[in-house]
Amino acid sequence: MTIFAALGDSITLGVGDPVRVPGQRMTWRGWAALLAEGLCEPTLHILAGNGALAVDIESVQLPRALELRPDLASVVFGVNDTLRSNFDPDRIAAAATHTVGALRASGAEVLTMRLPDPGRMLRLPGTLARPLARRAHQVNAVMDAIAARFGTLHFDAASDPEVFDPRMWAVDRLHPSERGHRLIARRFHGLVAAAGHAVGTAPDPEPSNPPPSRLAEVGWMATKGTAWVVRRSTDLVPGLLAMAVKEWLGRHPEFHLEPLPAYSPNLNLIERLWKFLRKKAFTRWHRTFEDMVAAVSEVLDHLGGYREELESLMTERFQRHPRAETQAAQPVAA
């Protein structure tokens, strides 16, 4: 019997490979289930979770996996980590090292994977894709080092030409399609066999289900897909834009970015103008929304009448003060 514990994120959970179980609603299958079919007397435990980060795998999934004492375990992650604004390669390395090291120490053969560049899969413009590519390279470098240290069965999806076939990807371009899941399963099956483990027939490369219709793809993106985009946009995009601006400034030394202290709207001229507008337009109660709009328009249409006030307010002549040095109070003698 082969006990297989599959740790990771939504890719290992099977998102992108829908199957309908008789008498049940549609569920996900995925590469881990397809690989298990090609193992000898498999018992599959999918411990992966949607949105899991390296630290989640270490803290939540690893203890459950060690209780199973698996013969085979997979640790596949990275996309969620690269898409977070608090990306920290050192923290990722520490969590992944502990996870893989503990599984190997328990006697399990461990499967790991290098992931393709998410920016390339999402077809982001170069300005945003470059910072994301650097993150993907950092995660892959972490996994390369771990694979070399612990002797994992390491699939290089980042360099596999078949990975970039559009048919391998679901409509969101971040999760494999059924064909993509089958490719991952076949690659890992080959690595397991090459390592001398008894295996059965390799997974079929061809999908067993027809691809989702265009209507089904649009329906998925309009529900779950859109929610995902909104969450990632509010979390990732500001960080990517900041990295893109920093990269652009590095190529244009004639420009200088002057950082402002956090939570200092008084240093932002437009914030000063909004404060002035509120002071002039909202000092009295407005009975209707239309009355409020009229009050705002009255101020904006006659800004010339406030010239003297605005000249002193809308200025960039900020006064700088050296950092104050404080001394701890000396104890008073009794």
Tell me the β-bridge partners of 46. 6
Place of tokens 């779950």: 224
Residue 178 exposed, middle or buried by CB count within 10 Å (0-12, 13-18, 19+): buried
Could you give the domains of the chain? 2-241 (3.40.50.1110), 260-313 (no CATH)
Contact 147, 154 (CB under 8 A): yes
What is the separation of C-alpha 79 from the centre of its chain, rounded to a whole number of angstroms?
A: 5
C-beta pairs of 231-239 under 8 Å, 24+ apart in sequence: 232/83, 235/83, 235/84, 235/85, 236/83, 236/84, 236/85, 237/128, 238/85, 239/85, 239/87
Mean pLDDT of residues grouped by 10 in the chain (334 residues)? 96 91 82 97 96 96 98 95 87 98 98 89 72 90 98 97 91 86 98 96 91 59 51 56 70 74 69 83 78 80 85 70 50 47
Tell me the β-bridge partners of 76. 8
Q: Nearest Cα to 72, choosing from 154, 149, 156, 6?
A: 6
Buried b (16+ CB within 10 A) or exposed e, 247-258: eeeeeeeeeeee
Confidence at residue 332, expressed as pLDDT on a 0 to 100 scale: 47
What count of other Cβ atoms lies within 10 Å of the Cβ of residue 173?
Answer: 12
- DSSP state, 304? G
Q: What is the pLDDT of residues 123-145, one digit of tens each?
A: 766 767 788 888 899 999 999 99
Give the C-alpha separation, 275 to 283, whole Å: 12
Instruction: State the pairing for strand pair 18-20/26-28.
Output: antiparallel
Structure tokens at 12: 């290992």
Give the C-alpha separation, 194 to 189, whole Å: 9
Helix (H, G, I), strand (E, B) or coil at 27: strand
CA dihedral 262, 89, 82, 191 (to 10 degrees): -170
Confidence at residue 321, expressed as pLDDT on a 0 to 100 scale: 57
Angle at 178 between CA 3 and CA 11, to 5 degrees: 55
Helix (H, G, I), strand (E, B) or coil at 52: coil
Confidence at residue 334, expressed as pLDDT on a 0 to 100 scale: 43
Q: What is the pLDDT of residues 40-58, one digit of tens each?
A: 999 999 999 998 999 999 9
Give the Å distances, CA to CA, from 97 to 9, 48, 58, 152, 282: 17, 17, 9, 12, 58
What count of other Cβ atoms lies within 10 Å of the Cβ of residue 156?
Answer: 16
User: Which contiguous run of DSSP H or E holds residue 6?
Assistant: strand 2-8
